[in-house]
Amino acid sequence: MTRSIFHARRRWLGTALLVSLALNAFFIGAAATEVITAAAAVPDRHAGGMLYRLDLRWLDGRLPDAAVDKIAADVERGASGADRRFEHLRELRADLGDLVAVPIPDRAAINGKLAEIRTELDRLLAETQAATVASVLALPPETRAGLAADPQG
């Protein structure tokens, strides 16, 4: 009789442990899904991609979200040549890959290709910044006033 009680108690503890592990796995999975979903949603706030997000980051927290979203849309429209520039950058980087992959790389050619890439990046950034500032200046003065304050306090 003592043995059957011992086995029943052991079985009950094993079942409770499995149920507990299953519940913990469920809640950990739900929490992880929520964190991943939230993290993935943040980069998509500005439709223009990484370049626009970097250029618009200084506006976050200093202007209302609606104003930042409007600026992002304006920048995306204003930098209409960005797609062409990104394609050119891909070509330049592919060329750079060819140059560095050879057994004896030509350092002068590599440096020249890097200079071309920097020039194209500078043009792209200049266009994006010009479109950003033009859109910010089109906002009402009371909305732009938030840009003068230090967001860290």
Residue 52 near residue 72, CB atoms below 8 Å: yes
- Quote the percentage of the chain above a pLDDT of 70: 77
| CA-closest candidate to residue 121, choices 59, 51, 48, 44 | 51
Instruction: For helices 65-78 and 107-137, give the axis angle rounded to 10 degrees.
Output: 130
The lowest-confidence range among 26-35, 54-63, 95-104 is: 26-35
Q: Tell me the pLDDT tens digit for each residue of 37-57.
A: 665 554 444 444 555 666 778
Q: Tell me the pLDDT tens digit for each residue of 75-90.
A: 877 666 777 888 888 9
